[in-house]
Amino acid sequence: MKVDGRVERGEQTKRQILRRAAEIASVEGLEGLSIGRLATELEVSKSGVFAHFGSKEELQLATVRAAAKVFVDQVVTPALDVPPGRARLERLLDGWLAYSEHRTFPGGCFFYAVQAEFDARPGRVRDTLVEFDRRWHDLVRSTAADVPGLVADPDQLAFEVIAFLELANGKSVLRGDDEAYARARTAVADALARATRA
């Protein structure tokens, strides 16, 4: 089936807008997004950007979804290629650290950056962020639960290792402390060793 060139160009422009929007939001938050700014930076018309999203809230929601796709592609999918067990859990957690450490988004983890902005603000954007956070915690918990010989509560283990990841991201972004990632890897390894001790 032949694809209309205009449609493909429109989708390509939309992907470029959302990628730039996620980069901006990782540093300045989702409130830092504006249709005018994106149009200027990407040298497209304001009406063209508006046509893709229609409102600032729709732009924010689309940005969250686009960032989630990047996260899944970089962190989740490679881990799911590893058989269930400790190696998969280690791959999942190290994938998160690499995603932050290598600055997939300039502000580190996109979700860490924008959650504080919306954590006490009811609405569709917050609901979408809550759902992403829930799904991430559930994935880490269920992956941990599949580790043979696990003696820890999977929910508690997930809470602790996610806290190590987020602290490394926060310290690195705030202080430029790249050693935080090494410390997080050590903390995660220690937590997994304790969690699987017979």
Over residues 10-31, the pLDDT tens digits come to 788 899 999 999 999 999 999 9
Name the packing angle between helices 154-175 and 110-118 (round to 10°). Answer: 100
Residue 33 reports pLDDT greater than 60? yes
| Inter-residue contact 26 to 107 (CB < 8 Å) | yes
CA dist 163 and 83 (Å) reads 25
Name the packing angle between helices 35-42 and 5-28 (round to 10°). Answer: 120
Q: Which CATH class is domain 60-195?
A: mainly alpha
Q: Please indicate whether residue 19 or residue 51 has the higher confidence score (pLDDT).
A: 19
Q: Please indicate whether residue 62 or residue 42 has the higher confidence score (pLDDT).
A: 62
| Inter-residue contact 19 to 8 (CB < 8 Å) | no
pTM of the model: 0.91
Residue 146: how many other CB atoms lie within 10 Å: 14
Among 164, 165, 159, 152, smallest CA distance to 194 is for 152
Among 89, 91, 126, smallest CA distance to 111 is for 126
Amino acid letter at 61?
Answer: L
Amino acid letter at 94?
Answer: D
Token pair of 30, please? 């989702």
Q: How many residues does the chain have?
A: 198
Domain ranges of the chain: 60-195
Running DSSP on this structure, what letter comes out for residue 30? G
Q: Provide long-range contacts, Cβ within 8 A and 24+ apart, for 151-154.
A: 151/195, 151/196, 151/197, 151/198, 152/194, 152/195, 152/196
The pLDDT tens digits of the residues spanning 131-167 come to 999 999 999 999 999 999 999 999 999 999 999 999 9
